[in-house]
Amino acid sequence: MSENARYAEVIPLLRLPRSRTAFDYRIPEPLRATLRIGMIVTIPFRKRPVAGVIFKLKTNSDVSSTRIAEIIRIDDPEPIVTAPFLETLCAIAKNLCLAPGLFLRGALPEVPRHLRRLDPRLIPTGDRASTPTDTFITIPHRDLLKTYLANTITESIAHKKTLLILFPLREQAENFARYFTENKIPVSYAPADLGKIAQYALGKQFERGEIPVLMGTRSALFFEPPHGSTYILVDETAPEWKQEDINPRYDARLILPLIARATNSSVIRLGTLPTLNTYHKLQITNYELPVTSYQLRVTILNLKNHWRSGNRTSITDELLSALKESSRALLFVARVGRATTLRCHDCYYLWRCATCDVALAAHRTNLRCPTCRALSPMPLDCPTCHSAHFISHGVGVERVEDELRDALGDAMRNVEIGSVGLINNLKSNVATPPFDLVAIVDADSMLFRPDFKSTEKLSSLLADCASFANNEYTRFIIQTSFTELPVWNVTRDQSAFFDAELEDRKTLHYPPFYRMAKLIFQDKNPTIVEKQAHTVFTKLRETLKDNPTIEISTPYRAAPFVVRGRARMYIVLRFRHDAISHIEPTLATLPDDIIIDLDPASLL
């Protein structure tokens, strides 16, 4: 707060061009003694009143006095966010090549109208942590997660420390918060769809240290805790940490250290496996990854031998024998439905989605688009040759269920079959009965995808499935035609797999050694998309030609090219970590209808 300040830099909480950040406003005389950085104010902007956050206070302004407007009022008598936390959020927005106003509008709670006349209250900063850390702890079994969180919460409350526990799944956060509340452990839950009044009140309580433990999902990351708090990130390898469907497109795992540093807080990451980025960072800082308490019995079954015998079922004889001896088994199938595609046997016509450039998956009673989830009735004949003879390709959950129902009969009730949805449901349960048999039915369908993270995602899935094992006597069976791949041993030797993967990433200039930015072009007209992508490519190549460390890919089509009637094309930039300052000014000049996805989860 500065009584000598006559002007303020205000960031309007609006969707603005990337090049526009803060605007100067005159501070009215009655507000000069009370205005502070981080306060929400109402300002005139484009002939209408809008909300903005005070970013800086100053005595002079470079804007002409005839063109500068005046702040209308203070919406909240206390700052919605502290100055260091606000600077961190703006730095994150700049790092993501986003306009700060757009990022802050989603990160900061909106001030309700009836709360704008609250009396100011001092916000205690709490004790500063002497040595904030960022560590990873392996949780090899799902039951250990509940035990670890209970012990950590109890210890934190006893030492009067604040905890913010983040879960990747909404159901997971709800179930764990309900479990601890029922067991008389004081925790609070911040739902993602919390109303603005409740969100504002909860944020203020948490900031003042009145809530010792707060649980939530990715959106709870922007609740500012007292200094010296601890963040716990559960299931670090979960893909839900990356918001890649809407703006702002950020990865909570990457921006969490920046936010924790602003509040001098520590970070603890939990999971069956670390991400490759975390493993690389822990290697550099000489942390030692804890080993699992037992080694699973991993059995790799060669599908080539199964097919050579003339058997065309998706379940090998060895896996079927193990299922008959099992009391509770978990079978993972990569795809839902009965088959991945449906074709005409006579003319090879392939059924595709009407709005997406993708083949329809065959279910028992209908066809379903795997991208937009649109349903189509099962066809009676081919629209081209009118043949009624169809053939399907691929393995789905429904096909495996039908095969096992014929082979096992009543014993089928002891087997749980599903895809990623089943794994997420099991992870969301606080108490999941362990399995004495875990199997991956169609591991080959997850191999050799044209994406640099495909192997890392597969290793994470294998570790998640293995975490439901009962004990060292549980069998973990993998059916594959490529038995020699090192990824199958990730549950037994993490370091060997990660070291080999890091060596490949370093050679090919992929993260974590390089950073990436994916430019997304989309329009209903494919011609417009291609023209815009090639125009931007020419501009980028000309602007960044003096920096040889920046690699720019030629425009390429997304896979699938059309989704929900909109064609998509990508341009990918690869650059060293210190080259981001050379790229940001160029990306800021791009049209706002071009989406910039920094650190993308996939290149497809």
DSSP assigned state of 460: H
Domain containing 431: what range?
297-501
pLDDT tens by residue, 276-300: 999 888 754 433 344 444 567 788 9
Residue 253 and residue 183 share a domain:
yes
Establish whether the linkage from the previous residue to 512 is cis, with ω within 30° of 0. yes
CB 474 within 8 A of CB 297: yes
CATH of the domain at 535: 3.30.70.2920
Domain boundary among 452, 468, 501: 501
Together in a domain, 332 and 481: yes
Task: Give the confidence band of 107 by pLDDT, cuts at 50, 70, 90.
Answer: confident
* Residue 558 φ then ψ, to 5°: -70, 160
Residue 281 lies in a domain: no
- List pLDDT tens digits, range 429-443: 888 777 889 999 988
In 272-396, the DSSP E strands lie at 297-302, 329-332, 341-344, 361-362, 366-368, 375-377, 390-393
Given a contact cutoff of 8 angstroms between Cβ atoms, the answer to whether 76 and 563 are in contact is: no
Is 568's pLDDT higher than 90? yes
Task: Kindly state whether residues 231 and 366 are assigned to the same domain.
Answer: no
Runs of H (alpha helix) within 170-227: 170-182, 196-207
Q: How many domains, the chain?
A: 4
- 333, 441 contact by CB (below 8 A): yes
Residues 154 and 243 reside in one and the same domain:
yes
Q: What pLDDT shows up at residue 287?
A: 35
Residue 125 lies in a domain: no
**Whether the Cβ atoms of residue 232 and residue 268 lie closer than 8 Å to each other:** yes
Please check whether residues 354 and 434 belong to one and the same domain.
yes
pTM of the predicted protein model: 0.86
Say whether pLDDT at 127 is over 50. Answer: no
Q: Classify residue 240 by burial, with Cβ atoms within 10 Å: 0-12, 13-18, 19+.
A: middle
Q: Are residues 480 and 446 in the same domain?
A: yes
Question: Which of 55-69, 81-95, 294-308 has the weakest average pLDDT?
Answer: 294-308
Q: Is residue 592 part of a domain?
A: yes
Cβ neighbourhood burial of 49 (10 Å; 0-12, 13-18, 19+): exposed
Among 237, 271, 305, residue at a domain's last position: 271
Computed over every residue of the chain, the mean pLDDT equals 85
Tokens of 75: 């919406």
Is 80 exceeded by the pLDDT of residue 14? yes
Question: With 50 as the cut, is the pLDDT of residue 402 above it?
Answer: yes
Predicted pLDDT at 522: 93
What is the rounded distance in angstroms from the CA atom of residue 315 to the CA atom of residue 281?
Answer: 40
Residue 453 lies in a domain: yes
Domain assignment present for 226: yes
So what's the pLDDT on residue 312? Answer: 80
Q: Please report whether residue 405 resides in a domain.
A: yes
Taking 90 as the threshold, does the pLDDT of residue 472 lie above it? no
Residue 188 lies in a domain: yes
Q: pLDDT tens digit string along 178-220?
A: 999 998 888 999 887 777 778 888 888 888 888 999 999 998 9
CATH number at 163 reads 3.40.50.300
Position 277 in a domain: no
